Structure 1
Amino acid sequence: MPSCRILSSSAIHPRDLPLLQCLSRRDLRAARRVLDDTAHHPGAVARWTSAISRFASAGFLPEAVALFDLMPRRNLVTWNALLAAYLHAGCTSAALDLFARMPSRNVVSYTSALCALARAGRIDDARALFDALRERNVVSYNAMLTALARSGDLAGARRMFDEMPERNAASWNSLIAGYAERGHMAEARSLFDEMVRCGSANVVSWTAVIAGYARAGDVWEAYDLFRTMIPDPNVVTWTAMMGGFAWNGFHHEAVSLFLDMSRTADRLEPNGETLLSLIYACAGLGFPCLGKQAHAYALVHGMDGDGEDGRLTKGFIYMYSRFGYMDWARHIFDRSIRRCDAVCWNSMIEGYIRIGRPEEARRLFDDITVDSRELSWVTMIVTWTMVVSAYFDAGDVAEARRLFERMPERDATAWTAVISGLVRNERVAEAFGAFAESRAAGFAPEGHALAALLGAVGSVARLEVGEQVHGLTVKTGPASDTVLRNALVAMYAKSGDVEGARKVFEEEEEAAAGKGGGWRDAVTWNTMVMGLAHHGRAHEALRLVVEMQQEVEPDGGTCLGALTACDHVGMVDRAEDVIRFMVDRGIPVGAEHHACVVDMLGRAGRFEAAERFAGSAQAGVEAWGALLGTCVIARGGGEETAVGERAARMVLGMDPKNAAAHVALCHVYARSGAHKEAVEVRKEMGRKGVRKRPGCSWIGWRGMVHAFACGDRSHPQTDEIYSMLAQLTAEIGSLSNG
């Protein structure tokens, strides 16, 4: 007999226990004696046949087979009973072998064989067997209909359905499920609505359609059906709806639905699939307590060793990895490592990376023991790319590059990870080199890679390079990506080409109009507002904020752009209006907003108001730093020295080694003539070991970046540069004195 899965034990009739015990310990002689003792009874064959069915249903399939072999007499019902037992246990090959050995067959036998062939994927053989059937009933038709639907031959299934002389609810449900599983929801819904009109729809029908909508991503249509179900939903229906929410990212709704299920009058008990949906929802929401309760429930109810596929085990590894509870995840992983697939390894590696333990992730990566037949090259690249990204995030660029060079296969996502990682680590030239390599290797540029490069261009003001990247986006097509277009707007704005930024911004508007509606997000608007603000075009920036409200809701970033615009031109009253707008709309006023207002008040000479605003509960070190900065540039009223001292004291109280605060305080003292105090501050910097990084600026000119650090005279044109600087300074001084 082929190896078959043995299910968990259940209650056996007392009169069957002696026979079952003999068969379980393979004492066939004793078992035959038990049969001989009852052989003279008229209903002996029927009794033995019933025992075969009971043994198989309780999970004792080997004992059922042994009983069949020992029976001195059998009838057709006996053969059919064992055939059904094999099918119930999933032993398709054994079922087909038995069918071939049957001395006689009836419609029940043929129907069971049809089911076996369908499960084995032998649809042509099933069809040939069905065509050879002289006697057919609704069960035979349903078996063939189900086989065609599951194989994806929906047209053949529909023809079979239309040809059926008689149909029952199972016939309708088989075709509905076939359509729903393949995403043909219009056809599934049409059949379902017809069943509802006829009053024949049952809980299976409703569940099939709900699951189909959820699988197709139309979860709210599924939920509308779920709420209007005429029969009470069973645990399968609840699970289908929960799964629809969980797999489509509606984690909160999935958890709420689970809680609703637990409060039903029937007190439905969750099954393994229910728990699987729940733990993925908990992982998505970051609900460790509820996730642990789900794990405890699985342990108490014997679901922790959840069959050969181990889906619950994999789910718990994923959940604990998402929570960052890597000791728990590792315990389950180590206990189940022989059944862990590539998804489990990826979950563990990603979990260690998330909690900042890249060395553990690397050890796991080096120890991967998944069968190479299960670990496709796509999965391997995903794992490899995660580890490469982790090294970039940790700042270990050299190791990230070494690991990337060892990759046996690379895809566009792997190249994007390298390019983005180099940009994050300020290796801009290397990032462009990697981008060129990826193009030479034949990979089309991904939107995220181009966005990272555009960010790098903006940070070093290399407009000509940014324009080349822009041209590439137009040529290769990903320019419709909102993230990429936002990066283009930011690149032009940071590089000083506000008109270029405006042009891209307005091109988005034209593209949106062509698609029948606006699709610019808040980031798009905020980037343009901030670009205008930084270049002193305050009125245009504020007008854009008003226009924006016709498409999207302003957020904290929008208001920061508006405040920056007000700051650049000293519009204090408008800034106060912006703060009131934020309070009225419930937009949190963050530390960066406070710092902007403080800077504006300080520049306007309103130090008392600025100090009061910096001292509010929501402000932080940024606001006090801004106040200190305005005291440095204030033009001698005397008040700024005292305010600057207090601001510096507040900054250094929060951040004792803040180099910029020490230097700013020195400047405040020096401007007021308090040179002795300035010297004391510099001595204090020495005692603390505080050193300020030299200021640095750069400019791109004719394909080269010229960088200038404070006090650095290494540039070959230093004399000419300082001569021009002195000339400009003199002209500015004459204009201000005039």
Structure 2
Amino acid sequence: MSSSSSNYYCALLKHCCEVRNHIQAKKLHCHIFKTLRIPETFLLNNLISTYGKLGNIVYAQRVFDQMPEPNLFSWNSVLSTYSKAGKISEMQAVFNRMPSRDVVSWNSLISGYASISIVNSVKTYNLMLREGSNNLTRITFSTMLILASSRGCVNLGRQIHVHIVKFGFQSYVFVGSPLVDMYSKTGFISDARKAFEEIPEKNVVMFNTMLTGLLRFGMIGDSRQFFYDMKEKDSISWTTMITGLTQNGLNKEAIDLFRKMRLETLEMDQYTFGSVLTACGGLLALQEGKQVHAYIIRTDYKDNIFVGSALVDMYCKCKSIRSAETVFKRMAFKNVVSWTAMLVGYGQNGYSEEAVKVFCDMQKDGVKPDDFTLGSVISSCANLASMEEGAQFHGRALATGLLSFITVSNALVTLYGKCGSIEDSHRLFNEMSVRDEVSWTALVSGYAKFGKAHETIRLFESMLAYGLKPDEITFIGVLSACSRAGLVEKGKQIFQSMIEEYRIVPILDHYSCMIDLYSRAGKLEEARNFINQMPFCPDAIGWATLLSSCRFYGNMEIGKWAAESLLELEPHNTASFILLSSIYAAKGNWEEVAKLRKGMRDKGLRKEQGCSWIKYKNTVHIFSADDRSNPFSDQIYSELEKLNYKMLKEGYVPDMNSVLHDVEDSEKIKMLNHHSERLAIAFGLIFIPPNLPIRVVKNLRVCGDCHNATKYISKITQREILVRDAARFHLFKDGTCSCGDFW
């Protein structure tokens, strides 16, 4: 057979590897043995290599076994096949049978062991040294340096470095790049720099490796200088620098460098686009993001799955959710990253129901969620306070083994805490093998939301004892717990430690917690002094909190100040009118109440309507005060009549101050009895099985009279009633509430 025929078959075999066509390779194999009496060894070696690259070990070994006179290349080909495939024992057996070995044989053995056993790789390397320096090549040293780098074995890397110098390989760029990379990845940037400087002739790969090392250590100033001093830069250099700037939070500089890269007319890849889009998202720079998108459309990366996912993420972060949807829907192919980007984007923009739907669509599409995806959809269920759906995802986490991931466990701890099942939240927390700051914060926040102040503080102190650092969210939880339990001094102490010990600059939420702390405890003058010393004015929540307490304690002077401040901040906020009206109504000053109502009408303002809802058999039933639209209204109102009669016998006294209308007491009692949460509770008593708690959600804070009435209802019916209002959870049981009547 002529060598030209062999070359022809070799070219066809190479094509089979490129297109990953197993069937065509077998057909060629069959054709070769049918048409050629004795195929050349060169051709058979190529056939072994082809089967090896296609992962067909059986056929590779079969061709080798049929060879009349295998040469060293034949042995190395079959050895290499077992080494990719991770067949270590077979690889070692072939190596032991080899009549002779060269450097390729030794390097294949080292590479094969590298993915399984660093010890055996080092043993093989040491055997090579004993055989003599002729066996050592730059590939050997490069392989060993990559191995040392991947396993974080700097001492091994230093030994390899000594051998590199001893055998005269220090001037090779192919060895120098992994040497620099090894030192930088194992945390020795000064050694990396020294190794870099000692290489006489450097190419752009070497410069890029050093640049990556500097950026990995966050040495932005040095990286920037190094980048601009590079005489030769390629697309990788620019992309590396843009990525490094983005990862270190220098998003504006990353975008500016991207613009300069465009002016240099350098080729960009998916990593370039991904990094600059991340920078745009980090800055909420929607216009710049759109410009990058427009440029991408004109490139070959417009249908790239990595770039598409980055675009979805950028638009979501810039709160352009409809643009994100458009990009997502147009993506021809989606992977778990794409789906997760859309899901997380919905969740972060308040579209929790859409996030859950995306997760379901993702499963229909056959894409398996990872821990981040599952954690994100559970977080969306937590925001919806949908424990039923969340519990289903909990089951999925158990079935798939994803519960072992801390992202999923943390999301579930948060879910149960937000849904009012604090016992389940704590049980999951206790079952976690590893806990981080997020785990502790989730549980602290859950107990705080439940009003269990002393448990919250104990958890917080345990967290500190474990050496974990609380963040600003942790402090919001523990400060709010102090405010709801009236622990003023403890709250002040924690607030000071947050600033002085943990160096956390307070945000509005922290200040609102402190205003709440003073206000709820009746220390209204101290609350006013605290506000006057704040570096900025309170937000609407802060003023409304103070005003609400002024109503409770009947402080007209500070109440007026808080109401006027709230009106100045938000002229169309009805809270100032409502709460100030409450103060006047409590004092019987109906004339002032009428003036305030007229002021609201003149401004075209209406009080936000209170509503409550309860879920039953996958249907949400919504109620407003005096609502008779529910198909079961007759039964509901009949149930309320019976309850009211039993409550009065037990000693219930209606709180007339909760009604802001100048009407007869009998009419006030009727109005109180038909508040939205009572209608929802009555519905629950009728339809929710006795062994299950009744779960009600309300959009506003529960009024004092309904809070008192629900305690009586829980005692009379012997039912657990969980009410989640705008401020917190209330678990009513046996005539008491978990908040201790302090909310």
Q: TM class, shorter-chain normalised?
A: 0.5 to 0.7
One of 633, 646, 671 as aligned partner of 2:561 = 646
**How much has 1:643 moved relative to structure 2?**
0.8
- RMSD value, Cα: 4.9
Q: How does 1:440-459 map to 2 (within 5 A)?
A: 440-459=364-383
Paired with 1:210 and 1:662, the residues of 2 have a C-alpha distance of 74
Displacement of 1:285 after TM fit?
A: 3.1
Q: 1:159 to 1:691 in 2, by over 3 A?
A: farther
Cα distance in 2 for partners of 1:433, 1:191 equals 50
SS at match of 1:418: helix
Give the deviation of 1:471 after TM superposition: 0.7
Whether contact under 8 Å (1:158, 1:175) holds in the other structure is no
- Is 1:210–1:240's contact at 8 Å kept on the other side of the alignment? no
Aligned to 1:272: 233
Q: Distance in 1 between matches of 2:181 and 2:230?
A: 23
Q: Determine whether 1:176 maps to 2:141.
A: yes
2:245 matched to 1:282?
Answer: yes
Could you tell me which amino acid in structure 1 is paired with residue 491 of structure 2? Answer: A
Match of 2:580 among 661, 665, 675: 665
**Residue aligning to 1:694:** 609
Kindly state the Cα deviation for residue 724 of structure 1 after the two structures are TM-superposed.
5.8
Q: Report the AA paired with residue 367 of structure 1.
A: I
In the TM superposition, 1:200-239 aligns within 5 A as 200=166, 204=170, 211-212=177-178, 215=181, 219-223=185-189, 225-226=191-192
Paired with 2:193 and 2:299, the residues of 1 have a C-alpha distance of 46
| CA-CA distance at 1:613 after TM superposition | 1.5
Question: Is the counterpart of residue 526 in structure 1 residue 434 in structure 2?
Answer: no
- Deviation, 1:476, is 1.0
1:698 is paired with a residue of what secondary structure? strand
Aligned pairs for 1:679-690 (under 5 A) are 679-685=594-600, 690=605
Structure 2 residue 401 is the aligned partner of structure 1 residue 484:
no
- The residue number in structure 2 matching 1:506 is 430
Largest Rg, 1 or 2: 1
From 611, 622, 644, give the equivalent of 2:528: 611
Paired residues, number: 539
- Rounded Cα–Cα distance in structure 2 between residues aligned with 1:396 and 1:725: 47
CA distance in 2, matches of 1:216, 1:199: 16
Displacement after TM superposition at 1:692 (Å): 5.3
1:333 paired to 2:262: yes
Greater RCO structure (CA 8 Å; 6+ sep): 2
Change (3 A) 1:587 1:397: closer
Deviation at 1:349, TM superposition (A): 5.6
Q: What displacement does 1:452 show?
A: 3.0
- State the shift of 1:485 in Å: 1.3
Cα distance, 1:501 vs. partner?
Answer: 0.1
Q: CA deviation at 1:223?
A: 2.5
Contact 1:419 1:431 in 2 (8 A): yes
User: Contact (CA 8 Å) 1:572, 1:600: kept in 2 or not?
Assistant: yes
**Structure 2 CA distance for partners of 1:700 and 1:576, relative to 1, 3 Å:** same
Residue type of the partner of 1:555? Answer: D
Q: Select which of 486, 507, 518 maps to 1:590.
A: 507
Cα distance in 2 between the residues matched to 1:682 and 1:201: 93
| Amino acid across the alignment from 1:175 | T
How much does 1:240 deviate? Answer: 3.9
Amino acid at match of 1:591: L
What is the Cα deviation at residue 470 of structure 1? 0.5
Alignment of 1:495-644 (within 5 A): 495-508=419-432, 511-512=433-434, 520-551=435-466, 552-585=468-501, 586-618=503-535, 620-622=537-539, 625-632=541-548, 638=554, 640-644=555-559
1:706 to 613, 617, 621: 621
Q: Quick one: distance in 2 between partners of 1:360 and 1:194?
A: 49
Helix, strand or coil for the counterpart of 1:282?
Answer: helix
Q: Which amino acid aligns with 1:385?
A: S
Indicate if the aligned counterparts of 2:544 and 2:562 stay in contact, CA closer than 8 A: yes
Over 3 Å counting, the alpha-carbon distance change for 1:342 and 1:458 in structure 2 is closer
Q: Partners of 1:408 and 1:505 in 2: how far apart? A: 40
Tell me which residue corresponds to 1:357.
Answer: 287
Deviation, structure 1 residue 356: 1.6
Residue 373 (structure 2) pairs with residue 412 (structure 1): no
User: What's the secondary structure of 1:649's corresponding residue?
Assistant: helix
In structure 2, do the counterparts of structure 1 residues 497 and 417 end up closer, same or farther at CA, with 3 Å as the change threshold?
same
- For 1:208 and 1:241, the matched residues in 2 are separated by 14
The counterpart of 1:436, out of the listed 353, 360, 363, is 360
Task: Specify whether residues 385 and 583 from structure 1 end up closer, same or farther in structure 2 by C-alpha distance, changes over 3 A only.
Answer: closer
Instruction: Give the whole-Å Cα distance in 1 for the aligned partners of 2:143 and 2:453.
Output: 61
SS in structure 2 at match of 1:470: helix
Deviations 1:298-324 (A, max 9, x none): xxxxxxxxxxxxxxxxxxxxx32xxxx
Q: 1:456 to 1:590 in 2, by over 3 A?
A: same
**Does residue 244 in structure 1 map to residue 213 in structure 2?**
yes
User: What residue number does 1:99 align with?
Assistant: none
- Give how far 1:235 is off: 9.1
Would the aligned equivalents of 2:149 and 2:183 in 1 still touch at CA under 8 Å? Answer: no
CA contact (8 A) 2:214 2:222 kept: no
Q: Give, in angstroms, the shift of residue 229 of structure 1.
A: 6.5
Whole-angstrom CA distance in 2 between matches of 1:288 and 1:455 = 28
1:733 aligns with one of 638, 653, 656 = 653
Q: 1:474 aligns with which of 398, 403, 414?
A: 398
Q: Distance in 1 between matches of 2:357 and 2:176?
A: 51
Task: Tell me if the contact between 1:529 and 1:545 (Cα under 8 Å) persists in the aligned partners.
Answer: yes
- Cα 1:689–1:500 change in 2 (3 A) is same
Residues 211, 244 of structure 1: 8 Å contact kept: no
Checking the alignment, whether the CA contact within 8 Å between 1:203 and 1:234 is kept in structure 2 is no
> Map of 1:60-99 to 2, 5 A cutoff?
none
Verify the 8 A CA contact 2:453 2:482 in the aligned structure 1. Answer: yes
The structure-2 alpha-carbon separation of the partners of 1:684 and 1:716, relative to structure 1 and needing over 3 Å to count, comes to same
Structure-2 separation of matches of 1:677 and 1:270: 79
Counterpart Cα distance in 2 of 1:396 and 1:584: 39
Distance in 2 of aligned mates of 1:362 and 1:165: 53
How far apart are residue 488 of structure 1 and its match?
0.4
* Offset of residue 619 of structure 1: 5.6
